[in-house]
Structure 1
Amino acid sequence: MVKKKMSTTLSAALIVSMLATGVIVAIQGTTTLEVAKTAGDKKVEVIK
């Protein structure tokens, strides 16, 4: 009983940490895209 509870807790913790990592990666991905966009916009302004 105790072992089963432990494994369930561990798997739940793993899922939560994986989700958190996914969210962080997604946030970093969007910020990288935003930076690339603003850099592109600045380049366009310089060319104009």
Structure 2
Amino acid sequence: MVKKKVFKALSAVLIVSMLATGVIVSIQGKTTLEVAKSAGDKKVEVIKAIQSA
């Protein structure tokens, strides 16, 4: 039960961070591929943080 809530919260944070990354990157004028890569890197960091917790 608690794990589901934590997972949902982390998912929400991840989505928000991806959107924020997209907005920042579009302002800087980078390509879509770089956006996807940086969003993927953030996802990996979050997963590693969950596993070490």
TM-score bucket (shorter structure): 0.5 to 0.7
The 2-side partners of 1:16 and 1:35 are apart by 28
Matches within 5 A, 1:1-48: 12-40=1-29
Aligned residue pairs: how many? Answer: 29
Could you tell me which runs of 5 or more consecutive residues in structure 1 were left unpaired when the two chains were aligned: 1-11, 41-48
Shift of 1:21: 0.3
Q: TM-score, normalized by length of structure 1?
A: 0.58
Q: CA RMSD in A?
A: 0.4
- Identity, in percent, stands at 10
Instruction: Kindly name which structure, 1 or 2, has the bigger radius of gyration based on alpha carbons.
Output: 1
The 1-side partners of 2:26 and 2:6 are apart by 30
Could you tell me which runs of 5 or more consecutive residues in structure 2 were left unpaired when the two chains were aligned: 30-53
Shift of 1:13: 0.5
Q: TM-score, normalized by length of structure 2?
A: 0.53
